[in-house]
Chain A
C-alpha cells in the first residue's frame, strides 16, 4: 500500500538525527503552545539555545544499535494488575471542590469554550 507524503515525512523524521541536523532546531513557540505554556520575552530568547544543547546531548543515544531491542515496560515486570469491580467511597463533592478557584452551585466554573450563537 502506498504511503502518503505526510507518512513519508514522519518516517524520515524518525531516521538518524545528527548534532548539526536542522531538526534539532526545536520549534520552541510551537512546542510551548502544544503544552499550553506561555513564555516570557526572556524565556523566548533563552530557551531555544538551552533546549537545543540538551537535545544535542540526549541525541547521542542514536549511537546504539537497538534494532533488535524491545522497549521496556514496567521495570520490575508487573502485568495486568486489577482489582474487583466494586464501588467504594471516594472524595465527597464538597472535598473535591475545596481547591477550585471558582465554583458555582456545586460545579467548578470554567472559562467559556463555545461562543453564543444566534439561532438560525
Chain B
C-alpha cells in the first residue's frame, strides 16, 4: 500500500491488516510520521513529533505480532496526544510558553493505558493554551489551520488533534472537553468526537483546566474506531477520586444493533434562531434516523439560555485555582509568560471567587448549574437521547473572532450545557455546507455512551461522511 492509503486507514482497517501481517506497524508509523513532518509548517498540528519513541513502539508491536501474540485492536495504531496529556520523558507544554521546557516524569493514566494497549505516539498535538479557546488560535505556538480550508480555524481547543487526523498525520487522537473542546474541532474537521460522562475516564496526569467540567475523550474518523478507544481509556482509576466505579462495557458490542424504537428528543432552545442552513442539515440527519426507525419528540430545556453565562463563571473560577500552581519555582517559567487569554480568565475567575463576589457569582452559578442538570434529567424520562447542533456557525475564518473574547465565547452556547450537566455527548459529521464540515451531537444520560455509539453508527453507515477527505 502506498503512504497515502496507509494514512487514510481507520483503526479497524489498520488493525485487521496488521493482524493478517499484510502491513507492518513500522511502515504505518513511518507513513504517519512523514505526513506529520511534511504538513507541520503548513497546518501546525504538532508541538512535538516523537519519531524515536514512535518507531520504537512500532518495532515492539511488530515483534509481538511476529511472535503471534494476541494484541489489543489499538496495537501499532499511530495516535496523537493533545499536549495536555503528561507523557513521561516527552515535553508537555499545555500549548503555553509557561511550560515550554516542561518534561513530565510520569504518564497520565490514559497515556499509560494506551501504551499498554500498544498504541504508537506520533506526537503531542497543538491546542489553545491550557484549553482556553474554541478555535485553535490561542496557542502560544501559533494557530493550527483547518485541513478543509486553510483560511479557516479547525476548532478548539483540541485543534491539533483534529487537524492531524483529518490530514492523515495520525489515525486517532486524544482530547479534552471542558466546554466543547473535543466536539467543536470534530464538527469543524469532519470527525467523530466523544465527550464521555464526567468521571468515565480518568483525569489523572492531564493538565487541569476546570476540574468539575473537564472530560477526557478522543477524536477518530469513524464511530466504531471511537468506541474501540473508549474501551481502553474508560474505567475507574485510584489516582482520580472522581472516576466512577461503574463497569466498563465493550462499547463495540452490538454497535450495529440499529435504532428501531429509540426516542430522540430535539430540544427547541437549540433550534430556535439557529442558522437556517445548519438547521436544515441537522434536521435532514434526523430524517435519516427517522427512516431507520427512531421516534422524534420535541422537548424543552428551559435554562439553556443561561448555560453560557453559568459556564463562564464556573470555568474561569476553577481555572484561576488550577493555574495558581504555575509559580515558576517547582517547574516551568514565571507567570509573566501567560498569554493574554490565560491572564483574562485567571483574573475573571479570581474576581468571581473573591470575597464579596463569591455569592453573587460562583455560588449563584453552582445553583443555576443544578437547574441546568435537572432540565436534562427530566427530559431523559421522556426520551432516550437528544440531538443538537454542535455550533451555531460554520468553521470561521482565522482572526474573525479573536479580537473580542465575548464573541469567541458565544460559539460555545450548544456545548457548555452538556459539560455543566456532566453528560456524555458524541459529535458526528452530518454533512457539508460550501465544502465545510458540519457536525451534530448525540447527547445521552449518564454513562449512556454505548447507546450514543449505536445511534451514531446507524446514522454514519447510511451517510458515510467520513469518506470525504480534505484536498491537501
Contacts and interface: CB of A to CB of B under 8 A. Distances in A.
A26 B355 CA distance: 13
B405 A13 contact: no
A38 B336 contact: yes
Contacts of A66: 364, 367-368, 371
Contact of B329 (A31, A95, A100): A100
B347 A31 contact: yes
Interface in A55-99: 55, 57-64, 66, 69-72, 74-76, 78, 81, 83, 91, 95-96, 98-99
A51 B406 contact: no
Interface in B299-315: 303, 306, 309-310, 312-313
A112 interface: no
Contacts of A46: 340
A24 B28 CA distance: 56
A5 B109 CA distance: 50
B354 interface: yes
Contact of A35 (B238, B347, B355, B369): B347
Interface in A6-40: 9-10, 13-15, 17, 23, 26, 28, 31-32, 34-39
B348 A54 contact: yes
How many interface residues does chain B have, given as a range?
A: 35 or more
B360 A62 contact: yes
Contacts of A9: 356
A76 B236 CA distance: 14
Contact of A98 (B103, B310, B346): B103
Given A74-B242, A98-B105, A100-B330, A58 B343 contact: no
Contacts of B238: 83
Contact of A43 (B340, B351, B359, B366): B340
A65 B308 CA distance: 17
Interface in B308-363: 309-310, 312-313, 320, 324, 327-332, 335-336, 338, 340, 343-344, 346-348, 350-352, 354-357, 359-361, 363
A110 interface: yes
B269 to A, nearest CB: 15
B446 interface: yes
A57 B310 CA distance: 10
B67 to A, nearest CB: 31
Contacts of A34: 350, 354
A31 B350 contact: yes
A31 B347 CA distance: 6
Contacts of A39: 343
B115 interface: no
Nearest to B303: A64
A106 interface: no
Contact of B335 (A36, A54, A60, A98): A36
A43 B343 contact: yes
Nearest to B420: A75
A36 B336 CA distance: 9
Nearest to A67: B367
B92 to A, nearest CB: 10
Given A43-B340, A61-B310, A75 B212 contact: yes
27 contacts: A13-B356, A13-B360, A23-B357, A26-B347, A31-B354, A32-B347, A35-B347, A37-B335, A37-B346, A47-B347, A51-B348, A55-B351, A58-B310, A60-B306, A61-B313, A62-B364, A63-B306, A66-B367, A69-B367, A69-B371, A75-B421, A76-B199, A76-B422, A81-B242, A83-B238, A98-B103, A100-B329
Q: Which 6 A-B pairs have the closest CB atoms?
A: A75-B422, A71-B366, A99-B331, A13-B356, A66-B367, A72-B370
Given A57-B409, A98-B105, 9 more contacts: A26-B347, A50-B406, A53-B406, A58-B361, A71-B367, A75-B198, A83-B238, A99-B101, A99-B330
Interface of B: 101-103, 105-106, 197-199, 212, 238, 241-242, 244, 303, 306, 309-310, 312-313, 320, 324, 327-332, 335-336, 338, 340, 343-344, 346-348, 350-352, 354-357, 359-361, 363-371, 373, 404-406, 409, 421-422, 446
Interface of A: 9-10, 13-15, 17, 23, 26, 28, 31-32, 34-39, 43, 46-47, 50-51, 53-55, 57-64, 66, 69-72, 74-76, 78, 81, 83, 91, 95-96, 98-101, 108, 110
